[in-house]
Amino acid sequence: MKLNYSLVTRRTFLNTLFGGWIATFLAGSLYALWRGAFPTLGKEPDFVVLNKPGDYLDIPPNSTKPFAWGGKLGYIFKRADNTVVALKGVCSHMECNIVYKPENKRFYCPCHKGWFDEFGKNVEGPPPKPLEFFEYRVEDGKLLVHKKGIKVELPKA
């Protein structure tokens, strides 16, 4: 039966109904899949607390001591002039771990042959940015390493 003044045919109506059903179903499924494919990302730590500060700070000049900055590599680095700094040991190019070369007084990334000087400046090769430095202080027998410009208070025991 066809109505005289109907704007849509029965076929158009059904196609729209089922087409709409399929489109809604697919859109919802894809959105759910998209959400499911990404876990809660977490983030890099703002600070880490290390026991036995002496193990890190009393290293010989012109050497480094690694520590875990979350899942990444961090270094406590004593320059040849005895100044001590903390930095992230990850290349600013493609995130490979870097290594300190005492004979060159430079950090080196073996992945694409990038070099950083003692102050973390990218001096040679592909790294586009300097290394990231942290701040640190010793408090209650602990070494507290934190991101620059962040205030961290340790709970008083």
Partner 1 sequence: MNWFDERYDLSDLKALAKKKYVPVHRHDIWYYTGGVTLFLFIVQFVTGMVLAFYYVPYFEQAHKSIIEIVTKLNMGWFYRSLHHWGAQFAIGFLFIHLFGTLLLKSYRKPREFLWFSGFILLGIAIFFGLSGYFLLWDERAFAAVRVATGGAAALPVLGETIKAFLRGGIDVTGETLIRFYAFHVCVLPMATLALFGVHLFLVQYHGMSVPVSEQGKNLRQVPFFPNVLYKDLIFWLIVLGVVVTFATLLPPEIGNKADPLAPPPENVKPEWYFLFLFQTLKLFPGDILGLNGEVIAVVLVALAILFFFLIPFFDRRSQQDQRSPVFTVIGIAYLLYFVIMTIVGYFS
Segment 126-145, which members bind partner 1 (CB under 8 A)?
126-129
Size of the site for partner 1 (CB under 8 A): 33
Helices (H), the chain: 10-37, 53-57
How are strands ordered across the β-sheet holding 72-78?
Answer: 47-51, 142-147, 133-139, 84-88, 72-78, 63-69
Q: Decide if residue 36 touches partner 1 (CB under 8 A).
A: no
The interface mask with partner 1, positions 108-127, x = CB under 8 A, is --xxxxx-------x--xxx
Cβ–Cβ < 8 Å for 136, 144: yes
Q: Which stretch binds partner 1 (CB under 8 A): 17-25, 53-61, 105-113, 143-151?
A: 105-113
Q: Decide if residue 60 touches partner 1 (CB under 8 A).
A: no
- If the CB atoms of residues 63 and 97 are measured against partner 1, the closer one turns out to be 97
- The residues, ordered by sequence, that sit 6+ positions from 107 with a Cβ below 8 Å of its Cβ are 89, 98, 99, 100, 101, 115, 116, 117, 120, 131
Q: Decide if residue 95 touches partner 1 (CB under 8 A).
A: yes
Three-class DSSP category at 144: strand
**Rounded to the nearest 5 degrees, what angle is found at the Cα of 151, between the Cα atoms of 97 and 60?**
45
Q: Which stretch binds partner 1 (CB under 8 A): 14-22, 38-46, 49-57, 78-86?
A: 38-46
Q: Decide if residue 66 touches partner 1 (CB under 8 A).
A: yes
Residues that bind partner 1 (CB under 8 A): 37-39, 41-44, 66, 68, 70-73, 89, 92-99, 110-114, 122, 125-129
